[in-house]
Amino acid sequence: MRRLLLLAALLLCALLGTAQPASAHTELVTSSPRDGATPAKAPTHLTLTFDEAVDLADVRVLTVDGDRLPVSRTAHRNVVRVALGSPADGRFALVWSVVDEEDGHASSGRIAFAVAAKATPTGGDEVSAPAPSPSVRKGLVAVRWTGYLALALFVGGLAFVALLWPGGAYEPRARALLGLAWTVGLLATVATAGLQGAYASLGGLRDALRPATYADVLATRPGVVLAARGLMWVLAAVVLAALLQGAARSPGWRVGALAVTFGLLRTTGMTGHNSEGSEPTWGAVADFVHLLGAALWIGGLAMLTLAVLPRRRPGELAEVVPGYARLAALSVTGIVGAGLVLAWQVVGSYDALLHTSYGQLLLVKTAVLGCVLVAAYASRQWVRTRLDLAVLLRGDAATVRPFGYSVAAETGLVLVVLAVTSLLVTADPGR
């Protein structure tokens, strides 16, 4: 059974491995009649033209009274037709929303026009565009932050134990950390699916708990990706159980762990902005490297802070700390290089970097990351100058304490970086 599950993980990863091209969030290009128009006679339908192909199930057009209007496809995949009624006063006031097929982001707007012979167009204040619930958006940011943290702790912790500290598989703190990360990761994925469905349908928090919401979101591409991520977490339980039984040095376990790690990282990146731009393949590769580097860095930090340092065993400090220092340096290099590629891919210009909410959040993330690197530099200096003394003094608490402080500061700032990253996922990209 274990081999069958790991084989399924490998097959699923192969299916998910191909980068799919995507554009920015789906937006309305034009409508006929257009907003504010005064046609000579009442139209029987409204035509909406979007900047990319849309699925009819993702397009909603409502009257101001909340009645949903029928939507049909035309000869072009990015053009839909909306059947209109015949209001007595000749005024048409509609609100529309569309969900991006790639990342599940909802865009919306309003259209108001009136028949020239009967009335003037309705004013902009009489019709408001629909928008996702603020509580749903905040909930989505929160569960994404939790999901990112769980992913980093699980993948990075798994790698830390497998590569640097095999004995950690028997340490209660390390086992508890990995088990908690797995549990939170699975629950965050389930919660994300419900909140994503409520967000896309412009519903409230109660809608996130309804089975119909899950059914609707699982019929979309972001929903399929979330389902695949949930399956990856289920398969990760097999990998974790084998690790806790001492199979970390087994070639079969390493293959299974690599497959699950790839699947978790890839499905996490497939619903972001990484493929927006002219080079979606490079964006997907950069996003994978970015996530992997962050996971190795953050998960290793947590394992070092919570499991290794409290033991203060000289042999472990001498073996594990230098190894993690080298792994962290490699991870930071990957994070910075991949981050530059992603910034170029998604933001696209200095003007967008400075004058869009996405670009400004990216600058905040970069500034906090700079503070993290300062703390990391202090940790690295301790390894170079004080590690030998700490080992000689058999892990003396006073000697190890400065290193613990710098690692704790580094960990706390990394949590802020993850929070900003969660906000970036729901923000409009700079392009």
Using the structure block, give the residue that is written with the tokens 């290793």.
300
Helices (H), 270-313: 280-303
Whether 342 and 294 have beta carbons less than 8 Å apart is answered as no
Helix pair angle (221-244, 134-159), 10° resolution: 30
Confidence of residue 425 (pLDDT cuts 50, 70, 90): low
Q: Are residues 100 and 155 in the same domain?
A: no
Give per-residue pLDDT as tens, 322-349: 888 888 888 888 887 877 777 776 666 5
Q: Are residues 138 and 90 in the same domain?
A: no
Helices (H), 304-356: 314-346, 350-355
Q: Is residue 5 in a domain?
A: no
Strands (E) across 183-314 are located at: none
Q: Are residues 316 and 190 in the same domain?
A: yes
Section 296-321 average pLDDT: 81
Q: Are residues 237 and 350 in the same domain?
A: yes
Q: Are residues 345 and 385 in the same domain?
A: yes
Q: Is residue 126 in a domain?
A: no
Q: Are residues 176 and 35 in the same domain?
A: no
| Total number of domains in the chain | 2
Pull the structure tokens for residue 1: 């059974």
Q: Is residue 19 in a domain?
A: no
- Of the candidate ranges 71-85, 222-236, 349-363, 375-389, the one whose mean pLDDT is the lowest: 375-389
Q: Is residue 299 in a domain?
A: yes
Q: Is residue 200 in a domain?
A: yes
Whether 174 and 307 have beta carbons less than 8 Å apart is answered as yes
Phi, psi of 360 (to 5 degrees): -65, -40
End-to-end Cα spacing for the chain? 47
Q: Are residues 164 and 41 in the same domain?
A: no
Phi, psi of 308 (to 5 degrees): -85, -55
Pull the structure tokens for residue 66: 């909340």
- Of the candidate ranges 241-245, 280-284, 423-427, the one whose mean pLDDT is the lowest: 423-427
Whether 279 and 345 have beta carbons less than 8 Å apart is answered as yes
Give per-residue pLDDT as tens, 223-281: 888 999 999 999 999 999 988 887 767 788 888 889 999 999 999 877 665 555 556 67
| Beta-bridge mates of residue 278 | none
- Domain range for residue 55? 28-114
CATH of residue 97's domain is 2.60.40.1220
Q: Is residue 145 in a domain?
A: yes
Whether 44 and 83 have beta carbons less than 8 Å apart is answered as yes
Q: Hey, CA dihedral for 287, 288, 289, 291, is it positive or negative?
A: positive
> How many Cβ atoms are within 10 Å of 63's Cβ, its own excluded?
16
Q: Are residues 92 and 161 in the same domain?
A: no
Q: Is residue 203 in a domain?
A: yes
Q: Are residues 108 and 249 in the same domain?
A: no
Q: Are residues 92 and 203 in the same domain?
A: no
Determine the residue type at 254.
Answer: R
Q: Are residues 252 and 191 in the same domain?
A: yes
Section 148-174 average pLDDT: 90
Q: Is residue 108 in a domain?
A: yes
pLDDT at 175: 93
Q: Hey, CA dihedral for 47, 48, 52, 54, is it positive or negative?
A: negative
Ranked by mean pLDDT, which of 133-137, 274-278, 341-345, 352-356 comes out on top?
A: 133-137
Nearest partner of 173 among 308, 328, 263, 49, judged by Cα: 308
d(CA 62, CA 49): 17
pLDDT at 138: 85
d(CA 66, CA 189): 31
3-class SS of residue 113: strand
Q: Are residues 42 and 148 in the same domain?
A: no
